[in-house]
Amino acid sequence: MATRTDAPTRREQILREAARLFAERGFHGVGVDEIGAAVGISGPGLYRHFAGKDAMLAELLVGISEQLLTGGKRRVAESGGDPEALLDSLIEGHIDFALDDRPLITLHDRELDRLRDSDRKLVRQLQRQYVELWVAVVRELHPELAEPGARSAVHSVFGLLNSTPHLGRPGSLPGRAGTAELLHRMARGAFAAAGAPGV
């Protein structure tokens, strides 16, 4: 969702408002009528786009997992084999997600277990593939790190970058560019520390 530059479709508008409302008040605290009102259509009108709230939640969580993996693979393909540039690019892409799609981080933390088993398994499968893109480049830059250590470092950096829902309202942050730069420095520092001797 964050990477689109053209006008959002009605379906994307519905998903954006559903994500915001679900993150603010919880999945069960939001009705279809409220989501419809947020995009200017009747609640029943939503059923022309989605079978119900469960379908919206599944599309949100599966969709962002697919988007992150697709973006990660594109960055790998465009890196020209330079692991330093690739790691910076992967971090930048994840920071864009973490700053622009914060409600989805909250949704994943709170509502993943509400998905059907098949959808939850798909999310986990996509996430594992995304993690492995990072593990490969981290191990190339820090060959002293065994695979489990590199994977732990990647998950730790995700925890750092995905902390954005707890940073306060956008107006309370030091500007988007400043926040992105800070997160980037901290992520690179964490990987450097993970690869340091004796760690």
- Dump pLDDT digits (tens) for 34-60: 999 999 998 788 889 999 999 999 999
DSSP letter for each residue of 87-148: HHHHHHHHHHHHHH-HHHHHHHHHHGGGS-HHHHHHHHHHHHHHHHHHHHHHHHH-TTS-HH
CATH 3.40.50.450 fits 53-194, yes or no: no
- Dump pLDDT digits (tens) for 70-120: 999 999 999 998 999 999 999 999 999 999 999 999 999 999 999 999 999
What is the model's pLDDT at position 8?
77
DSSP, collapsed to helix, strand or coil, labels residue 40 as coil
Domain ranges of the chain: 53-194
Q: Which tokens sit at 123?
A: 């999310």
